[in-house]
Structures are given as C-alpha cells and as structure tokens.
Amino acid sequence: MSKLYLACKLIDVGTCTIVIYNQQVDDELLALDDEDEFVVYLDSVGRIKRDYGLKSLFIYMKINYEF
C-alpha cells in the first residue's frame, strides 16, 4: 500500500484507499470468481485537481447536497 502512495507521488497523481466496499458486487463487477479470485483491497488513482478555492467548495456542496 505504501509503495502505491509513493509511486503516485512520484508521477504527480492522487490516490485514496476505499475502506468500505461490497464484496459480492465488486467481485461481479471485476468478473472474479468467489473461490480463487476476490477483492481484498481497493484504491483509486487519478489526477489531482489543483483549484480548491471557495467557489469549488460551494459548487460541490450545491451539486451533492442541493442547498
């Protein structure tokens, strides 16, 4: 896990561990069988958005919370 974080830092992308997931749904989504193949760890990797101004926060809140 720490190697993934270091690699992401090296290539300037972000990463975030997904702590809660549905075992059956994720196994089906990735076409894994339940005996020999299964999800044990999920992590997302992607570009980092650099603009974190208040305008971005209010847009996020409006979209996700409908204020």
CB neighbourhood size of 15 (10 A): 16
Instruction: Quick: pLDDT tens for 42-62.
Output: 899 999 877 666 666 666 566
Q: What's the pLDDT at 67?
A: 46
pTM of the prediction?
0.55
The CA distance from 43 to 4, in Å, is 9
- Record the tokens describing residue 59, joined without a space: 């847009």
Helices within the chain (DSSP H only): 2-10, 23-29, 54-65
- Record the tokens describing residue 51, joined without a space: 């603009």
Q: Which amino acid is at 51?
A: D
